[in-house]
């Protein structure tokens, strides 16, 4: 099975052009499955792995307390893997056809309130030094565009079209999308670039850099956002993704069409975006309960 996993990972990296992070996720999911089947049933031949083995693995994950969302991700990896194996005639039957994914309980995404966002930008200094200025731009871009952490890190100076007032980001599957931006954001970014150029004589093309002029890394982005949000937000989570949720929720609450939010976020399907309508409905319910005389009757 390990040999076929290696073939599949090479296919994802070279033909599907998946990001290294995505390929690593597939590798972890599939090698964990192979290890379980080998250790529990002494089965190594890919042809001999059946529905029973896969189902047993999934049940073991759920008994260990793994969330339905995480289990479903592993099932998705296995389905893609077996689709590839069937296409290449490496196996005759697909054991994933009978696998039923566990239901994921609906959970509204955390987000920062409009009041807290206003407080954030009122108290967050733009700064004069490089690090303070960069940190401000990180927060500004994440909230104003809803882009992902990886998309933020991948931005270059050429990603910004000042004349057309837009950003080009490269999302999942190397798909490009256009995000319109405000004059205020462009003005701030322009000032940041001036400070960046004054600070570093030679640097990578990436827009956002470490204090040493290197390409930013995910943990640094997380630390920047966490340090800011912990001071103003009451959310249990304080990650860059919270600002993405905040962008989408504020858009939905202010009447933006779901399809427009989908395009701005770079979601592959509308289903992934629909969670933000629940926040809007909840907001309406809260207003109704507070405002209508008979709301509690």
Q: Please identify every residue annotated as catalytic.
A: 148, 172, 241, 244, 267, 276
CA distances from 91 to 1, 58, 140, 286 (A): 11, 21, 50, 54
Are 92 and 173 in the same domain?
A: no
Q: Which residues contact 138 (CB under 8 A, 6 or more apart)?
A: 152, 208, 221, 224, 225
List per-residue pLDDT tens for the chain, 297 residues long.
899 999 999 999 999 999 999 999 999 999 999 999 999 999 999 999 999 999 999 999 999 999 998 999 999 999 999 999 999 999 999 999 999 998 876 666 788 888 889 988 988 988 889 999 999 999 999 999 999 999 999 999 899 999 999 999 998 888 999 999 999 999 999 999 999 999 998 889 999 999 999 999 999 999 999 999 988 866 667 899 999 999 999 998 888 888 999 999 999 888 778 877 766 566 666 665 766 666 565
Q: What pLDDT, on a 0 to 100 scale, did the predictor assign at position 140?
A: 97
Are the beta carbons of 119 and 233 closer than 8 angstroms? no
Q: What pLDDT, on a 0 to 100 scale, did the predictor assign at position 238?
A: 86
β partners of residue 156: 206
Q: How many domains does the chain have?
A: 2
Are 57 and 130 in the same domain?
A: no
Specify the CATH number for the domain of residue 47: 1.10.150.130
Q: What pLDDT, on a 0 to 100 scale, did the predictor assign at position 278?
A: 65
CA distances from 104 to 25, 70, 99, 101, 205 (A): 20, 10, 15, 9, 41
Are 23 and 58 in the same domain?
A: yes
Pairing of strands 176-180, 166-170: antiparallel
Closest by Cα among 116, 112, 136, 142 to 265? 142
Q: What pLDDT, on a 0 to 100 scale, did the predictor assign at position 201?
A: 87
Residue 72 domain boundaries: 2-98
Closest by Cα among 118, 85, 66, 57 to 1? 85
Are 87 and 118 in the same domain?
A: no
Q: What pLDDT, on a 0 to 100 scale, did the predictor assign at position 255?
A: 84
Q: What pLDDT, on a 0 to 100 scale, did the predictor assign at position 279?
A: 60
Are 164 and 262 in the same domain?
A: yes
Domain boundary among 69, 98, 127: 98
Q: What pLDDT, on a 0 to 100 scale, did the predictor assign at position 270?
A: 84
Q: What pLDDT, on a 0 to 100 scale, did the predictor assign at position 297?
A: 52
Crossing angle for the helix pair 20-41 and 51-63, nearest 10 degrees?
A: 100
């Amino acid at each position: 099975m390990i040999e076929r996993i290696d073939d599949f990972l090479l296919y994802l990296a070279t033909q599907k052009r998946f990001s290294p992070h995505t390929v690593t996720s597939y590798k972890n999911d599939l090698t964990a499955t192979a290890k379980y089947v080998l250790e529990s049933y002494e089965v190594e031949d890919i042809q001999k792995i059946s529905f029973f083995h896969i189902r047993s693995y999934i049940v073991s994950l759920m008994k260990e307390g793994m969330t339905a969302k995480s289990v479903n991700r592993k099932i998705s990896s296995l389905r893609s893997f077996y689709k590839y194996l069937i296409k290449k005639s490496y196996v005759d039957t697909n054991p994933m056809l009978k696998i039923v994914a566990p239901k994921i309980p609906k959970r509204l995404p955390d987000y920062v309130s409009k009041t807290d966002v206003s407080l954030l930008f009122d108290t967050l200094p733009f700064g004069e030094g490089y690090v303070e200025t960069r940190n401000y731009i990180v927060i500004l871009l994440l909230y104003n565009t809803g882009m992902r952490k990886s998309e933020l890190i991948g931005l270059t100076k050429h990603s910004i079209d000042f004349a057309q007032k837009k950003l080009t980001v490269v999302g999942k599957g190397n798909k490009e999308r256009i995000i319109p931006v405000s004059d205020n954001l462009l003005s701030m970014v322009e000032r940041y670039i001036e400070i960046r150029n004054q600070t570093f004589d030679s640097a990578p093309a990436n827009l956002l850099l470490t204090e040493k002029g290197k390409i930013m890394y995910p943990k640094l982005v997380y630390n920047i956002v966490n340090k800011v949000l912990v001071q103003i937000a009451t959310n249990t989570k304080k990650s860059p993704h919270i600002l993405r949720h905040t962008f989408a929720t504020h858009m939905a609450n202010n009447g933006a069409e779901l399809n427009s939010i989908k395009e701005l976020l770079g979601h592959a399907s509308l289903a992934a975006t629909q969670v933000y309508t629940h926040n809007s409905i909840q907001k309406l319910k809260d207003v109704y309960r507070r405002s209508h005389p008979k709301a509690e009757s």
